[in-house]
Chain A
Amino acid sequence: MDVTHPLATRFHRPGTRRALAVVAALAVTGLALSGCSAGEAASDDDTAKTLTVWFPGTNQTEIDLVTDTIVPAFEKETGAKVDVTYVDWADISTKLNSSFAGGTAPDVFGHGPAAAADFVANDRILDLDDYVSGLSDDDQADLAAALPGGQVGGVQYLMPLSLQGNLVMYDADAFTAAGLDPDNPPTTWEDLRAAAEKLTVRDDSGAITRSGFLTPSQAISRQQSFATFLFGNGGALVDDTGSEAAFDSTEGAEALDFFTSLYSGDDAVSANLGEDYSNAPAAQQPLVQGTAAMTVQSAQGMVQILAAAPDKDLRVMPALSFEGHDPAAFGGAGPGLMINADTKNADLSWKFIEYMLSADVSTEYTEGTGSIPVRASAADSDYAKNSPVISMFLSQTDYLVANPNVVGWTQIRDSLDKQLEQALNDVTSSQDALDQAAVEADKLLEANG
């Protein structure tokens, strides 16, 4: 028995076939026409151009500010259309890599400075030196603190949109209660340690119920904490040429010993090694909950904490150092924008970056995101003047030191991070951990040339 579905018969009717052919022809024609219109749009006139931009992060305040205010203003000024996509930080590298491999990467994209060297090594981003030299002398001077953080091998590839840094925030009332003077906070790590011992509270079993001091000790962030101690002890992560690890020095071992001592021993001043407090919601921060008296925080974190605990007297310390050394803290250039080397809209892309970095827009952007302004002149803005946190960070920009922009840094950082974890957990000594990490780092630095 031959069973035929009625629909199958319909597909075989000559009329149906003709209709399908017409639909297919129309589809092909439509696609061809849309291709033509895309081609026509690619003229030199900005008014006909569409710029694709990827911003890292899904901070709603930033999204609203960029989408509703900054981009429309830029579009009005240039006549171009800007197509902005916000990509979660956790996905930005993956999506960028996929888009580069597929030839669909955006014209302009944002990322952290640590990613820039790998893009440079693979010839994926434009050298911005000519564009930067086209800025006025005043602008260049105003951006001077931020620009080096976006350079790889002395060439500008990334234009930071903000600065970043980690300083210590402390609870002034806890200081007073412990017999410390909140108006004269510690200026060295040794003093801070002594203060932390007085501020640490334990229960009957000896378990810490309030940490005297907390610094991030979870994956990746512990490398930043170590860097703060290392820089404050006169050490460096890599040598001047960027070809060899330098953190396996005496300064490095002392810095790591200090970091480890915070969490271990009977006189430990920090609880919950490895817990990620820094990314917790503001209301759950140890300073707000009263489970710590001093914590290392980013500027954005501090702004949010102050908003969450308006009744608390929370203050910010300047950058600290070990005895005999200059103050220093992990920081420097924050996330910034880069231009895809394959873009057909290089000039328009630069116009967008230039617009984002213009004095008013830059301040508006950093105020909206609660970050540290990229321009020195922003110290005179209402945003900085009205925020003790931002004004403190701006006063400390000379002491903020960034991770090195060398190819393969993320792998080196993670390798170091794993060894730091070993030392912090007393699995190995500080010097052994750093030596092991240095061997790995040197291999990676050599492999990446």
Chain B
Amino acid sequence: MTATLPPAGVTLTPAGAAPPAPSPARRRRRWSRTSVFGLVFVLPAAVYIIVFQLIPVIYGLVLSFTTYSPLSRSGPEFTGVDNYTDLLGDAEFGNALLVTGRYVLQVLPITVVIALALALLVNRPFKGVGLFRSALYVPHIVSLTAVSMVWLWMYSQTGLINEVFASIGLGPQSWLLDSDSALNAVSAMRIWKALGSNMVLLLAGLQSIPKDLYEAARVDGAGRWSTFRYVTLPGLRPMLVYVVAMDIIYLAQGFAEIYVLTQGGPLASTTTVNYLIYTEAFQYNQMGSASAMAFVLFALIVGFSVLAVRGVSGRQK
């Protein structure tokens, strides 16, 4: 017979006996000083989160089961799951899902791989490394809208990219006006924009890997590739998981770059779900169906993020 000891700190009470009621003095002590003081500190953030994040999300969920126009005086009218069932046969929404999926899939791998290569590069000491890191990070600190405006000009017929093409004897390209190239052009901008932040995160991940592991690998005769595969990658995995998950979340919600560069065109080739939600909600005042789209997108983002995180972290086992 083996006796199982309770974990340290757990108070044992006789079976069936109710725990002793705390004395009034203890009750007072539980809600005084530190607790109240902590509560006061937590309260502003908690109120902010509840009022500006939690309640709007819950209200959005409620709206997704209604028809509602902000202009209307009658308020939301309950329609059950109609908004969701309507989405099943909505060709525009289906197209927007495909565009969003393609956008994520073509930006994410390239961004992560190039960012990892850059992180490995700037993880070594060389002259001007600080400047190099800063230069790569600059795109991240500029607003996406401002960056998109600059790229809009770069992609224009008389913009920088076509000027470069002309200088090497190539004709001008309609980067954003051709349905075959528009999403690729937006993706190129987004990759450039995302590189800096991903690189910094991965650099932080690289620098958190204990140096002892590299020394041990060297002693064991591991080459560069083996060291990268068996030391660097496993050590970087938690940060990679974070980078991939965050990129999926941000990219699947792509809006500003689409709004500025293409307005969803040409031929809806860049209409992402978020852009469609914007038009539905703010151009047509269809808050109910827009909310339903938002929650479908939310569910898909959660689903794909979990899959991606499992995919990246699962290999660790």
Task: Mark A residues whose CB is within 8 Å of B.
Answer: 2-5, 7-9, 11-12, 93-94, 97-98, 100-101, 118-119, 122-124, 203, 205, 207, 218-219, 271-275, 284, 289, 291, 410-411, 414, 418, 421-422, 425, 427
The answer to whether A272 and B177 touch across the interface, beta carbons within 8 angstroms, is: yes
B265 interface contact, C-beta 8 A: yes
Q: Point out the residues of chain B lying under 8 angstroms from A118, CB to CB.
A: 71, 285
Q: Would you give the shortest CB distance from B193 to chain A, in whole angstroms?
A: 21
A205 to B70 Cα, complex, angstroms: 53
B40 interface contact, C-beta 8 A: yes
B226 interface contact, C-beta 8 A: no
The answer to whether A411 and B284 touch across the interface, beta carbons within 8 angstroms, is: yes
Q: Which residue of chain B lies nearest to A10 when distances are taken between CB atoms in the complex? A: B37
The answer to whether A9 and B283 touch across the interface, beta carbons within 8 angstroms, is: no
User: Knowing A5-B34, A94-B282 touch, does A207 contact B70 (C-beta < 8 A)?
Assistant: no
B36 interface contact, C-beta 8 A: yes
- From A8, A94, A119, A422, give the contact of B36 (CB < 8 A): A8
Could you give 25 example pairs across A and B, Cβ below 8 Å?
Answer: A4-B37, A5-B37, A7-B37, A8-B34, A11-B36, A11-B40, A93-B282, A93-B283, A94-B282, A97-B285, A119-B71, A122-B71, A207-B172, A219-B265, A272-B157, A275-B177, A410-B283, A410-B284, A411-B283, A414-B279, A418-B268, A421-B267, A422-B267, A425-B179, A425-B267
A131 to B71 Cα, complex, angstroms: 24
The answer to whether B158 and A275 touch across the interface, beta carbons within 8 angstroms, is: no
Q: Point out the residues of chain A lying under 8 angstroms from B156, CB to CB.
A: 275
Q: Would you give the shortest CB distance from B26 to chain A, in whole angstroms?
A: 12
A203 to B170 Cα, complex, angstroms: 12
For residues 41 through 84 of chain B, which have their beta carbon under 8 Å from a beta carbon of chain A?
A: 69-73
A218 to B174 Cα, complex, angstroms: 13
Count of residues in B whose CB is under 8 Å from the partner chain: 30
Q: Which residue of chain A lies nearest to B36 when distances are taken between CB atoms in the complex? A: A8
Q: Would you give the shortest CB distance from A152 to chain B, in whole angstroms?
A: 14
Q: Which residue of chain A lies nearest to B286 when distances are taken between CB atoms in the complex? A: A411
Q: Point out the residues of chain A lying under 8 angstroms from B211, CB to CB.
A: none
Q: Which residue of chain A lies nearest to B178 when distances are taken between CB atoms in the complex? A: A274
The answer to whether A8 and B71 touch across the interface, beta carbons within 8 angstroms, is: no
Q: Which residue of chain B lies nearest to A118 when distances are taken between CB atoms in the complex? A: B71
B266 interface contact, C-beta 8 A: yes
A9 to B34 Cα, complex, angstroms: 9
> Chain B's interface: helix, strand, loop or mixed, by majority?
loop
Q: Would you give the shortest CB distance from A276 to chain B, in whole angstroms?
A: 9
Q: A12-B33, A122-B71 are in contact. List 7 more A-B contacts (CB 8 A).
A: A4-B34, A11-B37, A11-B40, A100-B70, A118-B71, A118-B285, A205-B171
A96 to B51 Cα, complex, angstroms: 22
Q: Which residue of chain A lies nearest to B280 when distances are taken between CB atoms in the complex? A: A411
Q: Which residue of chain A lies nearest to B156 when distances are taken between CB atoms in the complex? A: A275
For residues 213 through 271 of chain B, which have their beta carbon under 8 Å from a beta carbon of chain A?
A: 263-268
Q: Would you give the shortest CB distance from B262 to chain A, in whole angstroms?
A: 9
A272 to B178 Cα, complex, angstroms: 9
The answer to whether A97 and B282 touch across the interface, beta carbons within 8 angstroms, is: yes
The answer to whether B171 and A207 touch across the interface, beta carbons within 8 angstroms, is: yes
The answer to whether B177 and A274 touch across the interface, beta carbons within 8 angstroms, is: yes
Identify the interface centre among B36, B172, B265: most chain A CB within 10 Å of its CB: B265
A97 to B281 Cα, complex, angstroms: 10
The answer to whether A12 and B32 touch across the interface, beta carbons within 8 angstroms, is: yes
The answer to whether A275 and B157 touch across the interface, beta carbons within 8 angstroms, is: yes
Q: Point out the residues of chain A lying under 8 angstroms from B268, CB to CB.
A: 418
Q: Point out the residues of chain A lying under 8 angstroms from B283, CB to CB.
A: 93, 410-411, 414
The answer to whether B177 and A122 touch across the interface, beta carbons within 8 angstroms, is: no
A411 to B267 Cα, complex, angstroms: 17
For residues 150 through 182 of chain B, which have their beta carbon under 8 Å from a beta carbon of chain A?
A: 156-158, 171-172, 174, 177, 179
Q: Which residue of chain A lies nearest to B172 when distances are taken between CB atoms in the complex? A: A207
Q: Point out the residues of chain B lying under 8 angstroms from A4, CB to CB.
A: 33-34, 37
Q: Would you give the shortest CB distance from A4 to chain B, in whole angstroms?
A: 5
User: Knowing A8-B34, A411-B284 touch, does A219 contact B73 (C-beta < 8 A)?
Assistant: no
Q: Would you give the shortest CB distance from B280 to chain A, in whole angstroms?
A: 10
A289 to B156 Cα, complex, angstroms: 14
Q: Which residue of chain A lies nearest to B152 when distances are taken between CB atoms in the complex? A: A276
A122 to B75 Cα, complex, angstroms: 11
Q: Which residue of chain A lies nearest to B259 when distances are taken between CB atoms in the complex? A: A90
A12 to B29 Cα, complex, angstroms: 13
Q: Would you give the shortest CB distance from B85 to chain A, in whole angstroms?
A: 18
The answer to whether B37 and A8 touch across the interface, beta carbons within 8 angstroms, is: yes
- From A11, A101, A421, give the contact of B70 (CB < 8 A): A101
A169 to B177 Cα, complex, angstroms: 24
A7 to B36 Cα, complex, angstroms: 11
Q: Which residue of chain B lies nearest to A341 when distances are taken between CB atoms in the complex? A: B73
Q: Which residue of chain A lies nearest to B282 when distances are taken between CB atoms in the complex? A: A94
Q: Which residue of chain B lies nearest to A205 when distances are taken between CB atoms in the complex? A: B171
A272 to B177 Cα, complex, angstroms: 7
A207 to B172 Cα, complex, angstroms: 9
Q: Would you give the shortest CB distance from B290 to chain A, in whole angstroms?
A: 12
A2 to B35 Cα, complex, angstroms: 11
A118 to B283 Cα, complex, angstroms: 11
- From B32, B36, B174, give the contact of A272 (CB < 8 A): B174
Q: Point out the residues of chain B lying under 8 angstroms from A123, CB to CB.
A: 73
Q: Would you give the shortest CB distance from B113 to chain A, in whole angstroms?
A: 32
Q: Point out the residues of chain B lying under 8 angstroms from A219, CB to CB.
A: 263-265
Q: Point out the residues of chain A lying under 8 angstroms from B36, CB to CB.
A: 8, 11
